[in-house]
Amino acid sequence: MIKIDSKQISKTENFKKHVRWFWGLFLGGIFSFFLLFFIASLGGFGEMPDHTQLENLKTNLASEIISNDGKTLGKLYYKANRTPVSYDELPKHLVNALIATEDVRYLEHSGIDARGTLRAILKPGSGGASTITQQLAKLLFTKRASSNKVKRVLQKFKEWIIAIRLERQYTKQEIIAQYLNIASFDNNAHGIRSASRIYFGGKEPNELDQKESAMIVGMLKNPSLFNPLKDKGKRAVKTKKRRNVVLSQMYKYEYISKTKKDSLQKTDLGIKYTPESHNTGTATYFREYIRAWMKGWVKKKINRKPNGEKYNITSDGLKIYVTIDSRMQKYAEKAVARHMPRLQAEFFKQNTSKRNPTAPFLGLNKSEIEKLMNDGMSRGERWRILKSQGKSKKEIRASFYQPTKMTIFKWIDGKVGKVDTIMKPIDSMRYYKHILRTGMMSMDPQTGHVKAWVGGISNRHFQFDMVNQGKRQVGSTFKPFVYATAIDQLHMSPCDEIPMSQITIEANKFGSHESWTPTNSNGEYGGEKTLKAALAGSVNTATARLMNKVGPRPVIDLAKRLGVTSKIPEVPSIALGTTDISVYEMVGAYSTFANKGVYTKPVIIERIEDKNGTVLYQFEPETKDVLSAESAYVTVNLMEGVVQSGSGSRLRHSRSKNEYAYKKIITGYPYELLNPIAGKTGTTQNQSDGWFVGMVPNLVTGVWVGAEDRAAHFSSATYGAGAAMSLPIWGMYMKSCYEDKTLNVSKSNFEKPKNLSVEVDCNRHQQDNLGEDNGTPIEETTDELDLLQ
């Protein structure tokens, strides 16, 4: 008889019991795991993206302003400065760095790395659980990881499911591109393209080298912690260590050699910080113009999405292709930045309290200045803010006389800068009244394409755009409109002679209520000059005589047909440029002369595309015949005389008798532009506004310089004339354009119409003496400054 060992039986039953418990827990765990997966897939742990959302991954994408030569001028965005790039635009070493550091088995798994996940469960803190696809899922649909451990686990289930679905929907390459496009890198760098441009001097992603790519990938772990610019650059040490970890990972997984790793780890980060914001960078005023234009464009019902929604210019990733040439824009900005600090320094020198007790104003008494400053107070931002806070007018005015901390604009070593100081707001107002502004626009007269647009000296400090928003008296730059009218109506020739003697246009002859007798500032009225000599010398009495022949109304009508929309009063004195007109209008008008009498409306935007490349808008040229080709050519021929021997002659000289007298402000001199150039300088009353509009066959450029208030101006024409204030900017800009052979700016003659019936060869009138060729602005200013109204 066999004895049964009860202890053995008990042990066996206990073992079986433990086995059952083990399998129960194991299978229960698996069941729970899949149950949680199932619940998560149904949205039990938060809303899950549907098939449509996965097909159309929605992120806030900045709209991009792209120049005519394919460069990004800037972006329109609200919070996310993000512009997507495709996988093909990513360098291979950047992708390798990402995979080696974040997900070494990326090409093997289908969204979840089982080995990494198991290791993370068995050995918490070892890392490796989150794949690139999961990180993308988190960025797209989870956003912020919960600090609660239980909630974070449930979030993980949601991320796993989304990751699997993303892997089914997209290729591995597309997922990497999406991830790098969505990731943020601090310092307003959203996405790989912004990070590349901001940290490395405007580089595109495909231009990043291995060490730069490694730094970018290293920042993904914690963009704030590894931001090399934080703590005044002290974080750069941590950033470098993290970058070197990435390089070690690349070596570990055989993406680079040990020699390469060791070499790169010794290098500096190579940071070239290039911030991107709405008021920094290239073409800031132009970009602001585009922003306003786009706001109007999206409001029109015809410009809607297929579902009827409005486009959002700050988040829909529109691509706005503009006519600006990035090279020409930089040359224009460089010319302004070279000339304006010198001109400003001379203006400050002339407006010290000893030299001008009412600085920067001239010709105003104490009460007039007080009124001007009070008006400025009530229009300012400080007044608006304090009023919104419920302050009384008395309290607001008193605050302007209390010293306060502030940052003010200042040219520093020829660059736009700022200075922290303590100053009374009323004193800062007066300081800013000293600051000279500028406006500049350049345009192809045949196509209408605007090539450069500089609305001021600093968009951060002076946001009023002096190309399109600002309108100032144009002075003698208006005279070609009078001459063109006379040529068109009376068939006059540049060689026709006109008396220089004084003339009075009687009251009521042209509807004016007052008689008008313009004067020449040099007091000379004898003899006769050819039309070409008269315009070259900018003789007021000659222009007045032409106005007396044709009358104000035909001149106004011509100006309107030339694209001038500003109001022009029907009085004879408009002949001398008493009307306020914008740089934008003047350049468009002069372009008609260069374009054989055909006005082409300035073109700013060529086309607009959505983020998928679908064209939403295509510009259509607006042109109209204004003058005969003959009249336009003769007017151009007249304006060539201004550069050949008049106030614009400094453009041609290799040297000047008076070069040293003007060396403080005549930047970039000598210009030595010996090719055919037509143009006109302009200087308004008391030197408040200085103009130069110049043209060659395929480029017309206008420049204005002046202060905010017309009472702030130079005391003499030496520095206050258009030839001293504006012409140097034009000269430097054109010199740069000609040095850049890729631009193909014309050096040819203006095309002469066939069968020209007007005499333009004035050799027989050489005795008229077109003006002493001395390169000074005196010839222009003697007759331009007196704008009697």
User: Closest Cα to residue 691, out of 594, 595, 580?
Assistant: 580
C-alpha–C-alpha distance, residues 495 and 547, integer Å: 18
pLDDT (0 to 100) of residue 122: 55
161 alpha carbon, distance to own chain's centre? 44
Nearest-angstrom CA–CA distance, 119 and 123: 6
Tell me which amino acid residue 210 is.
Answer: Q
State both tokens at 121: 């469960």
What's the pLDDT score for residue 788? 29
d(CA 140, CA 134): 10
Find out whether 702 and 708 touch, Cβ atoms under 8 Å: no
The dihedral sign for the CA sequence 242, 243, 246, 248: negative
Enter the DSSP assignment of 662: G
Cα 688 from chain centre: 27
The C-alpha atoms of residue 789 and residue 316 are separated, in whole angstroms, by 52
Residue 770's pLDDT band, with cuts at 50, 70 and 90, is: very low
Give the position of tokens 């709209």: 63
What are the φ/ψ torsions at residue 439 (nearest 5 degrees)? -140, 140
User: Which tokens hold the place of 760?
Assistant: 């333009």
The predicted structure's pLDDT at residue 530: 94
Best-predicted range by mean pLDDT among 126-135, 293-302, 731-740, 768-777? 731-740
Spatial separation of the C-alpha atoms in residues 72 and 52, rounded to whole Å: 31
Supply 132's token pair.
Answer: 């690139």
Q: What is the pLDDT of residues 480-521, one digit of tens each?
A: 999 999 999 999 999 999 999 999 999 888 877 789 999 987
DSSP bridge partners of 72: 66
Is the CB of residue 67 less than 8 Å from the CB of residue 326?
Answer: yes
Half-sphere exposure of 487 (CA within 13 A, CB side): 30
CA distance 46 to 36: 12
Instruction: Give tens-digit pLDDT for 623-658.
Output: 999 999 999 999 999 999 999 989 899 998 765 545
Mean pLDDT, rounded, for 249-260: 96
SS3 state of residue 455: coil
- Per-residue pLDDT at 507: 87
Mean pLDDT of the chain, nearest integer: 87
Give the mean pLDDT of 752-772.
71
The rounded distance, in Å, linking the Cα atoms of 115 and 752 is 80
- Following DSSP, what letter does each residue of 418-448 receive, concatenated? EEEEEE-HHHHHHHHHT-EEEEEEEE-TTT-
Spatial separation of the C-alpha atoms in residues 328 and 68, rounded to whole Å = 11
3-state class (DSSP) for residue 271: coil
Residue count (the chain): 789
% of the chain surpassing 70 pLDDT: 84
Task: Decide which of 516 and 22 is more confident.
Answer: 516
DSSP string, 298-317: HHSTTSB-TTSPBP-TTTB-
Rounded to an integer, the average pLDDT of 454-483 is 95
Burial of 344 (0-12, 13-18, 19+ CB in 10 A): middle
User: CB count, 10 Å around CB of 522?
Assistant: 13
CB 176 within 8 A of CB 56: no
Count Cα atoms within 13 angstroms, Cβ side, for 738.
Answer: 16
Could you count the other beta carbons within 10 Å of the beta carbon of residue 398? Answer: 11
Nearest-angstrom CA–CA distance, 648 and 676: 12
Residues 6+ apart with CB under 8 A from 61: 80, 82, 83, 84, 315, 316, 317, 611
Residue with tokens 């007018």: 393
CB-CB contact of 448 with 595 (8 Å) = no
Structure tokens at 109: 């798994």
Cα–Cα distance, 375 to 682 (Å, whole number): 29
Which residue in 188, 202, 189 sits closest to 272, CA to CA?
A: 202
Position 537, amino acid:
G
Residue 587 in tokens: 């350049």
Among the ranges given (228-237, 458-467, 652-661, 756-765), the one the predictor scored with the smallest mean pLDDT: 652-661
With both helix axes pointing from N to C terminus, report the angle between 366-379 and 425-433 in degrees, rounded to the nearest 10: 110
pLDDT in tens, 352-391: 888 899 999 998 999 999 999 999 999 888 999 999 999 9
Distances (CA, A) of 332 to 65, 452, 630, 647: 18, 7, 32, 22
The single-letter DSSP state of residue 61 is: B
Q: Decide if pLDDT at 786 tops 50.
A: no
Cβ-based neighbour number of residue 268 at 10 Å? 8
pLDDT reported for residue 8: 64
Are the CB atoms for 555 and 580 separated by under 8 Å? no
Q: Which residue has the higher pLDDT, 66 or 121?
A: 66
- Number of CB atoms found within 10 A of residue 786's CB: 13
- CA dist 140 and 504 (Å) reads 77
CA distances from 497 to 162, 482, 520, 555, 726 (A): 85, 16, 18, 21, 30
Taking the C-alpha atoms of residue 11 and residue 353, their distance in angstroms, rounded to an integer, is: 108
Q: Report whether pLDDT(704) > 60.
A: yes
CB 672 within 8 A of CB 650: no
CA 451 to chain centroid: 12
Pairing of strands 319-322, 63-66: parallel
pLDDT at 772 over 50: no
Residue 74 has what pLDDT?
92
The per-residue pLDDT for 682 is 95
- The region that residue 609 occupies, defined by phi over 0 for left and psi between -120 and 50 for alpha, beta otherwise, is beta
Tokens 């007044």 belong to 383
Instruction: With beta carbons less than 8 A apart as the criterion, state whether 462 and 707 touch.
Output: no
Which helix (H) or strand (E) is 600 found in, with range? strand 598-600
The three-state secondary structure class of 580 is strand
Q: Give tens-digit pLDDT for 106-164.
A: 998 888 877 766 665 555 554 556 899 988 888 887 756 555 555 555 566 677 778 88
What per-residue confidence (pLDDT) applies to 162?
Answer: 83
How many Å apart are CA 215 and CA 168, to the nearest integer? 31
Q: What is the per-residue pLDDT for 691?
A: 98
Please report the pLDDT score of residue 52 as a whole number: 64
Kindly report whether the peptide bond that precedes residue 670 is cis, defined as omega within 30 degrees of 0.
Answer: yes
Q: pLDDT for 596-617, tens place per residue?
A: 999 999 999 999 999 989 999 9
**Residues near 445 by Cβ (< 8 Å), separated by ≥ 6?**
590, 591, 592, 594, 595, 600, 695, 697, 698, 699, 700
374 Cβ contact partners less than 8 Å away, ≥ 6 residues apart:
none
Report the phi/psi class of residue 672: left, alpha or beta, with left for phi > 0 and alpha for psi in -120 to 50: left
Please give the pLDDT value at position 112: 80
Per-residue pLDDT at 154: 59
Bond from prior residue into 84 cis (ω within 30 degrees of 0): no
Tokens matching residue 23: 């399998």
Task: Say if residues 273 and 235 touch (Cβ distance below 8 Å).
Answer: no
DSSP 154-208: HHHHHHHHHHHHHHHHS-HHHHHHHHHHH-B-STT-BSHHHHHHHHBTT--GGG-
Range 756-764 average pLDDT: 84
Sign of the dihedral through C-alpha 469, 472, 478, 481:
positive
Over range 744-773, report the average pLDDT: 77
User: Measured on CA atoms in the order 567, 572, 578, 582, is the torsion positive or negative?
Assistant: positive
Q: Which range is least confidently modeled, 153-167, 187-201, 253-267? A: 153-167
Residue 223 neighbours by CB distance under 10 Å: 17
Q: Is residue 755 scored above 60 in pLDDT?
A: yes
Whose tokens are 């010996």? That residue is 674
